[in-house]
Amino acid sequence: MNKTDISARFRELQLHICKALEQLDGLATFNEDAWDRPEGGGGHTRTLQGGQILEKAGVAFSAVHGPVTAAMKQQLGHEGERFFATGVSIVLHPKHPRHPIMHMNVRYFELEDSKYWFGGGIDLTPHYVDLDKATSFHTSLKELSDRYDTSFYPKFKEWADRYFFLPHRAESRGVGGIFFDQLDESSGLTKEQLFSYCQDLGRLFPIVYSNQLEDVVLKEPTAEELAWQALRRGRYVEFNLLHDRGTKFGIYSGGRTESILMSMPPMANWVYNQEPSEDSEEQKTLSFLRAVHQFC
């Protein structure tokens, strides 16, 4: 399996996920923007707006290559003169505050056609934490991961807890998920098995998002719910701009700005020194995000 094969199958994964999300939303469809990277490679960014369920969704595919800059070497922690990177990145921002934000990315990176690794992750960011839904999400991730290696879920879940965290707020971005990086044959799995794990994770994405919507009784959102949603979206922006490795790598590697910032919510808000009312749903969610939890 070479980088061309991996890139082609990641493109197929992008199209599969978009089709599943269109069926789930039932109203809006994805538009595609093909782009070229002057330094080498390009991609296809697919976006959906104004859906019945999804206010904004992005599913991006890229396959880029070129020289490794000094900034990239510092970011990656590896030497090398040329790189190849391909992957799929997804973020869903729902219309209703009672539906969650969900993000995923899977990627492959190669230096000089020899040193390679896979990375990725998936995490759930509800505006209002539902413990049953969070547990269901983690159970699905554990079941998939256990098919490959029973050490994956606990290790990658802990990694996600550390990664999807806003240290300046001392709170989690959401209820976590799994995160992994620089995964190669030293893991005990072959290159083909690791790629299969990434593919299966991608195919699971629309399924677990659909599960989050089941049995959720929606009412017209109140002004308080919409204000809280905007504040939680603000936290999402803070994490992506300050801490997200994918965003930083995209910027450092001279990536396409529109695609890199695709993950931003359609609207967000910040309120100075805002604290929810005691015993409110908002306060309970915030307290949950400031604690450590085990789901499986």
Catalytic residue among 93, 96, 99, 103: 103
Q: Which residues contact 149 (CB under 8 A, 6 or more apart)?
A: 187, 188, 189
Q: Compute the distance between CA of residue 146 and CA of residue 141 in angstroms, rounded to an integer.
A: 8
Question: Token pair of 290, please?
Answer: 């400031």
Contact between residue 75 and residue 119 where contact means Cβ atoms under 8 Å apart: no
Q: Is 103 a catalytic residue?
A: yes
Catalytic residue annotation: 103
